[in-house]
A and B are shown apart, each in its own frame.
Chain A
C-alpha cells in the first residue's frame, strides 16, 4: 500500500482527505504511483501531469522522505520508505503566489481576461 498526499485543491476534486492509499503493482515509481492514483481517481487525470505526455505539470512538485524528487526520472524507484508505506509520496503545488512565472500562462486572468 502506497500513501499519497494530495494538495488541498485536489483533495476537494477527488473528495478525499489529506492522504489516499493505493496499491501499485510492480516497481514503485513516480509513474506507477500516478498511474494507480489516476486509475482510482480518474477526475485527477490532467491535474498532476499532462494527459498526452505524462509530463509533470510546471507548478507541481513531488517529494518523498523530505527530498524533492521532482526531477528524478519518472520510472526510477521511489525510496523504500515510500514503497512500504512508511512515508507518503507527496504531491505539492509550488508556492508561486503573486509571481508572473510564465507570462501568458500564469495569472493572465488578472490582466482583465481581455486586452
Chain B
C-alpha cells in the first residue's frame, strides 16, 4: 500500500499530513516547533524517514532539525553557517554595496543518494553542504565568490537562494536559483558555478538581458529530462531544453505570468503547473479566483483548473516552495497558501479538496510517496 506524506512549513511551525494512496482521508500532525518559522522541510530520497527542517526566528536565529523516523521525533543538529573567508559585498536595495550577512536557511535539499548529505540554500545567498547529517556545514563558496557577486541584489523578501536541483544523471551537476541574481549551474560538484540566464528578459533591471540580476522565483525539473527546466520568473514563465544554456518564454495564454510556484507532473514531463498571481504589487490571484494553470504541452497552452478551488473573494498567495507532486499513478498535486489552506488534487489537477483550511501562513509544501 502506497502512502503519501506532506511536509508543510508555516509561519508558526511545521505540520506533517499523511494519507493512503486514495488521498481522501488525511491525518494531521503538528505543529512541530510551534511558534517558529519553518521555511522548509524535506525528506531524503535515499531514506524517506530522514527529514531535515529549517527552523528560524527573528529572536533566536537559525536552527536545523533532523528526524530519523519520518517526523515523529526531531533533534537539533548543527546551526553554524559561516561564510568561507571574509564575505564581500553585494548590491543593496539603493544600489550601494552591502556586506553579506547570514540571515536564515530558505531551502534544504537532501542528496539523491546519501541521507547524510544535504544542501542548504541561505539568505544572504550562498550554498552550504553537510555530509554528516546536518551536524556541520561548509559553504560551497565558488558560488558566492563568482565575479558577478557584487551585482547580486535582494528581492523584497531578501537575497535568498531558494532552489537547489540535483541532476539525477550527473552527480557533478546542480542547478540553483537566487532572487534576485538568477539561475546558476555547477558541473564540477559545486566548486565553480556559472550564470545560466541567457534568454531571460527583465524590464525592471537596468540591462534587461544582463548575465545576472534576474529575479528567478522557482525552477522545476522532471527527473527523466534533466536538461529541460521550467522557471517561474518574477514575470514570465520560461523554459530551457539545454540545461539553462538558453531560455525561452512559454507564458502563452496565462492570465498573468507573475507568480511564485511551478512544478512538473510526476509521470508526464511536458505537463507543468503554475499558480498565476496578479502582479508584484498585488500578491493575490487575478479576480479573486484561485486557479492552478496546467499545460500539457510544455508551456504556451495553459488551461485553468478550478474545480474545488475558491472562485470568488480569494486573496491568498502561493509561495515559491509551496507546491509539490506525488508519484502515485494518477499524480497528486498539492499546494499551500498564505491563508493557511493546503489543497490536494489526487487526479493531476482536475479536482481539488482542502486537506486543512486554517494553518498558519504556508511557506512550503514537500511531498513524499512512501512504499
Answer yes or no: A94 CB below 8 A from chain B CBs.
Answer: yes
With known contacts A43-B76, A57-B60, A94-B59, A112–B82 Cβ distance under 8 A: no
Answer yes or no: B338 CB below 8 A from chain A CBs.
Answer: yes
* Band of interface residues on B: 35 or more
Instruction: Name A21-40 residues within 8 Å CB distance of B.
Output: none
- The CA of A113 and the CA of B217, in the complex, are separated in Å by 10
Chain B interface secondary structure, helix, strand, loop or mixed? loop
Answer yes or no: B138 CB below 8 A from chain A CBs.
Answer: no
Shortest distance in angstroms between B156's beta carbon and chain A's nearest beta carbon? Answer: 4
A93 near B156 with CB under 8 A, answer no
B317 near A57 with CB under 8 A, answer no
Contacts of A113 in B (CB 8 A): 39, 106, 157, 160, 319-321, 363
Contacts of A48 in B (CB 8 A): 60
Instruction: Name B27-86 residues within 8 Å CB distance of A.
Output: 33-37, 39, 57-63, 76, 79-80, 82
With known contacts A9-B36, A109-B11, A114–B217 Cβ distance under 8 A: yes
With known contacts A51-B82, A104-B154, A109-B363, A115–B179 Cβ distance under 8 A: yes
Shortest distance in angstroms between B179's beta carbon and chain A's nearest beta carbon? Answer: 6
Instruction: Name B159-177 residues within 8 Å CB distance of A.
Output: 160
- The CA of A96 and the CA of B156, in the complex, are separated in Å by 21
- The CA of A12 and the CA of B82, in the complex, are separated in Å by 25
Instruction: Name A43-83 residues within 8 Å CB distance of B.
Output: 43, 45-48, 51-52, 57, 59-60
- The CA of A114 and the CA of B232, in the complex, are separated in Å by 12
Cβ-closest 3 pairs across A and B: A115-B155, A43-B76, A47-B60
- Name 6 extra pairs, CB < 8 A, besides A13-B63, A46-B79: A12-B33, A94-B59, A109-B37, A113-B160, A114-B179, A115-B156
